[in-house]
Amino acid sequence: MSERPTALITGASRGVGAAVARALAPTHDLLLGGRDREALAKTCAEVPAGRSWPVELTAVTEADVAGIDRLDVLVHSAGVAPLGRIGETPAEVWRRTMEINVIAVAELTRLLLPALRAAGGQVVLINSGAGQRANVGWGTYAASKFALRAFADALRLEEPGLRVTTVYPGRVDTDMQRGVRDQEKGPYEPEKYLNPDSVARAVLTAVTATPDAHLTEITVRPSGGPVN
């Protein structure tokens, strides 16, 4: 049985989640969460320390976390980013966004709290610049990210034995960002965006901080690029 710490990463099949997996692989055993089994298998091939954990996060149950008795790090990276003006956004979009970006995070954290407490572990939430400032057309997404920020703040107060870190990246060069730019009908300019590995380094910094240090919030912006 490995004596290395264990990290569970959601959204690990691509983008920031996969980058976090690569960053933590040298020091952690990994559970790589996501819906796309084929994509998860590719990430596992990149990080031999990883084991696929295929799950639908909006329907996670106690059975899905059975056997996880001790967890050192939980990284919430999965999410969706629908855009649209409030007057044009129906209720089902709001519900779906909140379900994936907030409620699924809260429920998975709740189910894993015993394992996190056993390890004196850490929860890392990949938020967004939209969790600090809302822009036109970003109401649904920003509301979910502001809610995620509140969740992190409450969890930090309620679970003093855990470290809880919120990471606020600006735009990142990912498939999700391509979808965002398509919705904005703007050009995709990866040179103006963060590399996923840069966000992963911020996560690594929080996770490897000395025991006396609790990095509660980290903001990462692309040099010379857009804020949101």
Instruction: Indicate which residues carry an active-site annotation.
Output: 141
- What is the C-alpha separation between 2 and 4, in angstroms, rounded? 5
Cα→Cα distances 151→148, 164, 184, 212, 227, Å: 5, 10, 28, 23, 23
Cβ–Cβ < 8 Å for 205, 164: no
The Cα 192–Cα 198 span in angstroms is 13
List, in sequence order, every beta strand (DSSP E) within the chain. Answer: 6-9, 29-34, 50-54, 73-76, 122-126, 163-169, 217-220
Instruction: Show the tokens assigned to 220.
Output: 């990462």
Q: Is 75 left (phi over 0), alpha (psi -120 to 50) or beta?
A: beta
Enumerate the β-bridge partners of residue 53.
Answer: 33
Residues facing 192 on adjacent strands: none
CA distance 100 to 127: 13
